[in-house]
Amino acid sequence: MYLCRRCVGFLHARLMPVKAQNWGNLGYVLPLAKLCYLKQPTLRGFPQGYQNLSQRKKEMGQSCGIRCLADQQATPHRQTSDIFEQKKDSNDITTFKNSNLHHIASTQVSFPAYLDAVPCPSPFEEISEQDAIQITVPPGLPPVTFTLRDYVDKSETLQKLVQLGVNLFKLEQRRNVGSMLVRLDFQGDVSPRLFFLKDLGVEDTQLGPLLSKNPFILTESLENLQGRVSYLKSKKFSSEAVAAMVSKAPYLLNFSVERMDNRLGFFQQQLGLSAQKTRDVVTRLPRLLCGSIEPVKENLKVCELQFGFRKNEIQHIVSKVPKVLTANKRKLTQVFDFVHNTMGVPHSLIAKFPQVLNAKFIRIKERHLFLDYLGRAHYEPAHPNYISLQRLVSLPDDVFCTEVALVSLKDFERFQKTL
């Protein structure tokens, strides 16, 4: 912390020759930048790199600069007298040409005598009250930083966001989001949108995670948001459904009405489902309205042509497990290939238990091979020891072992280590 202007000037006068010694060429120019950055930033003559340096020095207060200049002690490593004389004469910065700088760097000139006459005040000297009040305290906040930790104690917006449960750590790693959040005004920007979300029916505990995933909802205009909600309500989505959709897919209200309309129309037309069923599917998986249509088209084509499901079977699968539309094509194919070809389960049975297509491949494989080894791998309903696909896939490991395979968990683990 700075104690008084005099001691600051004294410290700088002491430090700069040391810096000049250590940094060579740069050192000659660094104190120059400090000295010359006095009043107006007309630094036309300066090389570009040093302007940043001088901007950082700006924080230290211009008064320090003036003091430094006045209190210089004559040392043999100081700059040439030319600059000093110019400074002494006029307080405006004159344009220094580059050649001048280089000239400065290369020459070593002895100091003029008048500088010796100015006595350096002791740092322990008491100063008057007016002088003390004129000391400018630099702000604690850095102008440029890489983390929001430096600002969170001073910014009301950031504090309220943390209290809501927004994960600032995750958000500040995204480009430009940190600056956007710092510039927001809580009363003007954030609270109207929070009230809007509350009116929509989004729960308080969900607001934090929602904003962590989509902070750009705070910069979307309220008319747009209300327009999109009224569009969804016009399509006969109930208010609870709209609230659930916004919680599950935080980016939903950032998309335009035309885009949402386009997607809803596509799903209704492609899947061939009734309006109510389409609404159900979209309510359960609202990110269908956010993402691109191409992967969904491809998945539908895969189901129809590659797997060989009929239209009504696909409709049943999608209405039961909408995730099949956005699943990874390669993983879906792997699971279907194993279930249909290796386990020998027909299409009708897979369509009856579509959660099999959503399960992890390794789980299905291990459990089927275990049942096969035990001789209990019967999946057709007609068989007396029939095991339904739903039980195969959804039960946890210990329940599966005791109820379906009728062995202990240890045996299943031993079998897993032989695969």
Partner 1 sequence: MATQAVRLFRKLDGLFAVYKPQGVHWKLVRDTVETNLLKAVNSFSPPAPQCMVQFQVLPSGETSNSTNLTVTASKLPTLSDHHLVAGPQFNNICVGVGHRLDAFSSGVLVLGLGNGNTALDSLYRSHVSRDYILEGEFGMATNDFTHTGRIIERSTYEHITQDKLEHVLAMIQGANQKALIMYSQVDLHTQEAYELAVKGMLHPQYKSPPILTGLRCLHFQLPHFTLEVQCVNETQKYLRKLLHEVGLELRSTAVCNKVRRTRDGPFKIEDALTHRNWTADAIIPSVTYFHRTTQKIRKNDRKAVNHLWISVSAKCIKCIVYNS
Give the footprint of partner 1 on this chain (CB under 8 A). Answer: 148-150, 152-153, 158-159, 162, 165-169, 362, 366, 397, 413, 416-419
Shortest distance, position 152 Cβ to partner 1, whole Å = 5
Using CA atoms, how far apart are residues 190 and 211, in angstroms rounded to an integer? 11
Count of other CB atoms within 10 angstroms of residue 330: 8
Residue number, 23 or 169, with CB nearest to partner 1? 169
Residue number, 18 or 362, with CB nearest to partner 1? 362
Residue number, 59 or 153, with CB nearest to partner 1? 153
64: left (phi over 0), alpha (psi -120 to 50) or beta: alpha
Residue number, 140 or 384, with CB nearest to partner 1? 140
Residue number, 11 or 369, with CB nearest to partner 1? 369
Shortest distance, position 124 Cβ to partner 1, whole Å = 24
Nearest to 73 by CA among 28, 39, 113: 113
Shortest distance, position 397 Cβ to partner 1, whole Å = 6
Shortest distance, position 169 Cβ to partner 1, whole Å = 4
Shortest distance, position 20 Cβ to partner 1, whole Å = 36
Shortest distance, position 357 Cβ to partner 1, whole Å = 18
CB 309 within 8 A of CB 303: yes
Using CA atoms, how far apart are residues 148 and 189, in angstroms rounded to an integer? 19
Residue number, 159 or 254, with CB nearest to partner 1? 159
Shortest distance, position 399 Cβ to partner 1, whole Å = 13
Residue number, 94 or 333, with CB nearest to partner 1? 333
Count of other CB atoms within 10 angstroms of residue 26: 15
DSSP string, 33-90: HHHH-SS----TTS-HHHHHHHHHHHTT-HHHHHHHHHTPPP-TTS--HHHHHHHHH-
Residue number, 281 or 343, with CB nearest to partner 1? 343
Q: Which residues have C-beta within 8 Å of that of residue 279, sequence separation ≥ 6? A: 235, 236, 237, 241
Shortest distance, position 418 Cβ to partner 1, whole Å = 8
Residue number, 145 or 274, with CB nearest to partner 1? 145
Shortest distance, position 334 Cβ to partner 1, whole Å = 9
Q: What Cα–Cα distance (Å) separates residue 256 from each residue in 148, 161, 192, 193, 262?
A: 31, 26, 20, 17, 10
Identify the three-state secondary structure at position 384: coil
CB 158 within 8 A of CB 218: no
Using CA atoms, how far apart are residues 281 and 323, in angstroms rounded to an integer? 10
Q: At what angle do helices 222-234 and 239-248 cross, to 10 degrees?
A: 120
CB 197 within 8 A of CB 211: no
Shortest distance, position 92 Cβ to partner 1, whole Å = 36
Residue number, 189 or 397, with CB nearest to partner 1? 397
DSSP string, 309-361: --HHHHHHHHHH-GGGGGS-HHHHHHHHHIIIIIS---HHHHHH-GGGGGS-H
Residue type, 270: Q
